Amino acid sequence: MAQQAQFDLVIIGSGPGGYVAAVRASQLGLKTAVVEKNARLGGVCLNVGCIPSKALLDSSEYYHLARERFAEYGIKTGKVSLDLAAMLARKDKVVEELTENVRKLLEGNNIEIVQGTATINAPGTIEVDTGKKKKTTLAAKNILLATGSAPIEVKGLEFDGKHIVSSTEALSFDTVPKHLGIVGGGYIGLELGSVWNRLGSKVTVIEMLPKIATTLDGQVGRTLDRILKRQGLAFKLNTKVAKATVARGKVRTVLESGDNTEEMSFDRLLVSIGRRPLTRGLGLEELGVETDPKTGQILVDETYRTSVDGIYAIGDLVPGPMLAHKASAEGTAAVECMAGRAGEVNYDTIPAVVYTWPEVASVGLTEEQVREREIPYCVGSFPFSGAGRARCMGETDGFVKLISHGKTDRILGVHIIGPRAADMIAECVLALEFGASSEDISRTIHGHPTFAEALMEAAMNVRKCSIYAS
């Protein structure tokens, strides 16, 4: 085995948590290496998650607009047809460019990139199988685990990569399924369901719980349900897949809802019920790194250190929402803690976004959570149908909902369903971070006409002095 130079930090995984942590470590003067088992850097997010799915969501939305809505804007196109291969090629190009940018970013910060599969033999010692005869050994003062997560596989619904698939394969179907079944009504299933629905699939979402997108504010979730149904998605709630078999190119399923059973046949079945942390093969059990027996997530302290000194973990590996921006924030904080600085993440101000159309974005507490905690509160809302910019674009679905403390007026949560919600939420995150009140938002001048005016109006409505709200 070839012994390499001592590093201050070796990071296993090059996703949004890993590569951001590496750059921050380099900025703080730490000699850093990143180990990545896949040919491309960027992890799940850049390769088979956030980036390719958003590329397809945008492409499919343009296709839908060209077919269904251009005429109302006075644009005549003639017959519009789908070139799925070109759409997928564009998605792949976007991924390739961004992953290459990550490589340049790491190299530009003098971070060593080691291609291979890592195993921690002992605290401070990482063995990397690079595919060559001799394995490479890296020595490090600290090790940061940032290996991300993978789709959960369900017994009886095992992935075959063609008919019963995970979100990875659902990004690259070679043809548009006539009927796509989706097991799970969470963010990933709804986003991919939206893609293939726009491209011509009949989409049926099967969810065990009584509603979709269960983490959303209830009012927002119900609105999203109505809009997606109007777009053509079908939902079977309180329903589970009891059996699935592949025969003659079809996935034949038996669905159970209470005492009732139903058979349905799909061209493809996407199983999207959640993700599990990727910890297998790292050697954590042998090292005694503590994990949650239920979730498999690694337990860490406030500095992201595991139960073993010198080993840290972030992102999907640790408790909390599995979001790329959460992993990036934790990566930065963990490295700053290693360097003796005060790194931390405010988990009360992590935004969440669902990239359906309209988009959904939220930060802070839902109305249900505020009630459960018996916090006195006020609510202000404003529909996008009342916003001039939304009218100009013909995108009037949805609303902004702002929840503030009933006595102090401090903002507790903001929930947006509507156009550009993913971008609008940034102002709300900043407001929560600085402890702003609804009055602070309402007295902040917003450009006109913009979508953000709806947030200002919702804030005004908390105090019952909106100009336009009834």
What does the alpha-carbon distance between residue 161 and residue 174 come to, in Å, rounded to a whole number?
12
For the question of residue 448 being annotated catalytic, the response is: yes
**Residue 63, marked binder:** no
Which entry of 163, 415, 446, 448 is annotated as an active-site residue? Answer: 448
In sequence order, what are the residues at sequence separation of 6 or more whose Cβ sits closer than 8 angstroms to the Cβ of residue 449?
387, 388, 389, 392
Query: Within 10 Å of residue 422's Cβ, how many Cβ atoms?
Result: 16
**Residue 207, marked binder:** yes
**Residue 340, marked binder:** no
Amino acid (one-letter) located at 227:
I
**Residue 188, marked binder:** yes
**Residue 84, marked binder:** no
What does the alpha-carbon distance between residue 190 and residue 233 come to, in Å, rounded to a whole number?
9
**Residue 124, marked binder:** no
**Residue 162, marked binder:** no
**Residue 190, marked binder:** yes
**Residue 100, marked binder:** no
Q: Return the axis-axis angle of helices 50-68 and 187-198, rounded to nearest 10°.
A: 40
**Residue 186, marked binder:** yes
**Residue 264, marked binder:** no
**Residue 331, marked binder:** no
**Residue 325, marked binder:** yes
**Residue 249, marked binder:** no
**Residue 323, marked binder:** yes
Annotated binding site for NAD(+): 184-191, 207, 274
Please list the active-site residues. Answer: 448
Annotated binding site: 54, 147-149, 184-191, 207, 274, 316, 322-325
Annotated binding site for FAD: 54, 147-149, 316, 322-325
